[in-house]
Amino acid sequence: MTLKFCANISWMFREAGAVPLRYGAAGRAGFRGVEAAFLYDHPVEEVVKAKEEAGVEQVLINMFPGNLAEGELGLAALPGRQQAFKDGLELSIKYANALNCKRMHLMAGRVPVDWSREAALPSMEETFVENLKFAAARLEKEGILALIEPINSKMTDPKYFLNTPQQALQIMQKVGHSNVKLQLDFFHQQIMDGNLTNSIKEYLPHIGHMQISQVPGRGEPDTEGEVNYDYVFGVLESVGYGGWIGLEYNPAGDTVAGLEWWRKYMSKSK
């Protein structure tokens, strides 16, 4: 089988300009699917026009993240922000439906600045479960899959609430809804736990999306680092993973020049 890769246009093709311009750059590079973090600075009509002209599928968007300027990075686990979460969800559904996007990452958010993680954990978990129950049902009506992603606390964001797949699965069990799946990013998984082969096999039934980049530099998969992606791709093929894999990495230079690994993989898979 051949794995499916989608370009993350919040990270890739920055040389093309603003995010709407990156749709065309991704399409011209040969991608049939794209994902994006935050599109909400651009009118939905502008984003839809760019996506349609590029002829690509919108594989994934992140939900509206809250007030980035004030340090928010997601609303789903923030006590006292439940109405803001619901309002942000409706805005995000508007974008997702217009883009015919069927996956949405619901970012948990950061532990409030004046709280310790230990003190915040019970109320944040309760809020997260409550909001995910609401969102799972709401998104199911729209045909959109809800995703939650652990973000590593060792390098990327020590204040982020959701850090490991184990924690994510515990949350998902408490939510108890089939429309919530795990978004597994191998960058974060390698930093927090490693054990990629067994993690793929163990978490596969719960996974709704994957993302990759090299560790620790977060560059292209074939750059120097800890992860042998040729081997990882072989594991994913062997277990029959048929979903998309998002390329959430920071190109070392020109995005297209750094896609030689992808061209080699696609050529080999023909």
216 preceded by cis ω (within 30°)?
yes
Q: Using the Cα atoms of residue 121, residue 124, residue 127 and residue 128 in order, give the sign of their dihedral.
A: negative
pLDDT class for 127, splitting at 50, 70, 90? Answer: very high
Taking 80 as the threshold, does the pLDDT of residue 253 lie above it? yes
Helix, strand, or coil (residue 241): coil
Name residues whose C-beta falls within 8 Å of residue 173's C-beta, 6 or more positions apart in sequence. Answer: none
Q: Determine the residue type at 260.
A: E
Task: Supply the mean pLDDT for the chain.
Answer: 97
Cα dist from 49 to 29, 226, 261, whole Å: 18, 39, 30
What local confidence, expressed as pLDDT, does residue 14 receive? 98
Percent of the chain with pLDDT over 90: 97
Residue 2 reports pLDDT greater than 70:
yes
What local confidence, expressed as pLDDT, does residue 1 receive? Answer: 84
Provide long-range contacts, Cβ within 8 A and 24+ apart, for 62-65: 62/36, 62/37, 62/38, 62/92, 62/104, 62/105, 62/107, 63/88, 63/89, 63/92, 63/104, 63/105, 63/106, 63/107, 64/38, 64/40, 64/88, 64/89, 64/91, 64/92, 65/38, 65/107
Return d(Cα 95, Cα 39) in angstroms, integer. 8
- Structure-token match 């990882």, residue found: 232
Tokens 């508007």 belong to 94
Task: Say whether 248 is catalytic.
Answer: yes
pLDDT digit string, tens, across residues 46-70: 999 999 999 999 999 999 999 999 9
Tokens 């935050």 correspond to 38
Is 224 noted as a catalytic residue in this protein?
no
Residues constituting the chain: 270
- Residue 242, token pair as written in the block: 């048929």
Confidence of residue 209 (pLDDT cuts 50, 70, 90): very high
Residues 102, 61: Cα–Cα separation, whole Å: 9
**Tens-place pLDDT, residues 214-237:** 999 999 999 999 999 999 999 999
pLDDT (average), residues 112-140: 96
Reading the block at residue 237, the tokens are: 């093929």
Which of 35, 57, 125, 248 does the annotation list as catalytic?
248
The whole-number pLDDT of residue 270 equals 66
In the chain, count of helices (H) and strands (E)?
Answer: 9, 8
pTM strictly above 0.85: yes
Catalytic-labelled residue, pool 35, 149, 220, 224: 149
